[in-house]
Amino acid sequence: MKVKYPYPSINNVVKTHHRFQSQGMYFEDALNLSNEYYRNINKAIIYKKPTPIQVVKVDYPRRSKARIVEAYYQTASTTDYNGIYRGKYIDYEAKETENLSFNFKHISLHQMQHLARIDEQNGLAFVIIFFKKVNRVFLIDIKPFLKLYHDGLKSIKIADFEVLGAEAKIGFSPPIDYLVAVDKLYF
């Protein structure tokens, strides 16, 4: 008898962990779960970087119920994730797109510059992109990413990611096994 196993999708994997917040947060939540998995098996220590904020007003109805009412971003955030893997510093920006290409307008210049500086110091610097339409995740090192940007392209097609990057496996444990793609790109 043939058994048909469901092909994992990021949305289904995250739903099974009951830790999603909104429709647009599935990719980030899947990365967070993947990083938690990597930490638990001592494969890598990677965390989501918090965005620095300046708290202006706090409501104190009770001490145990304090909540921030007004806050502002202190500085522009650099990238989404950083940590250490196989003795190397790792830093990356996570993006998702509904299209079969990634438009450069969806990443800030200061984020690309930050990743370039990480690369100059021999760190692992890349962009990881989830193509929602086809349920595929690709990593691309910052060097070819910046080359395409400086060549004046408006976007990068998924076919370019297939050639220049590495595909991350989508599964259940971890939801996005992107360190296999990191190994293909760097080790």
pLDDT tens-digit readout, 123-161: 999 999 999 999 999 999 999 999 999 999 999 999 999
What gap in Å lies between CA 115 and CA 126, rounded to an integer?
Answer: 7
What pLDDT does residue 58 have?
Answer: 86
CB 128 within 8 A of CB 137: yes
CB 59 within 8 A of CB 37: no
Which residues are 159's β-sheet partners? none
pTM over 0.75: yes
- Where exactly are the structural domains of the chain? 10-51+77-186
What pLDDT does residue 22 have?
Answer: 44
Mean pLDDT of the region 64-74 = 79
What gap in Å lies between CA 123 and CA 74, rounded to an integer?
Answer: 26
The string of DSSP letters for 97-147 reads ESSSEEEGGGS-HHHHHHHHHHHHTT-EEEEEEEEGGGTEEEEEEHHHHHH
Collapsing DSSP states into helix, strand and coil, what is residue 158? helix
Q: Identify the architecture of domain 10-51+77-186 in CATH.
A: 3-Layer(aba) Sandwich (3.40)
Sorting pLDDT into bands at 50, 70 and 90, what band is 8?
A: low
What gap in Å lies between CA 138 and CA 148, rounded to an integer?
Answer: 16
Closest C-alpha among 72, 80, 161, 36 to residue 153: 161
Averaged pLDDT of the chain:
88
Give the β-pairing of 67-73 and 101-103. Answer: unpaired
Mean pLDDT of the region 14-38 = 73
Share of the chain above pLDDT 70, in %: 85
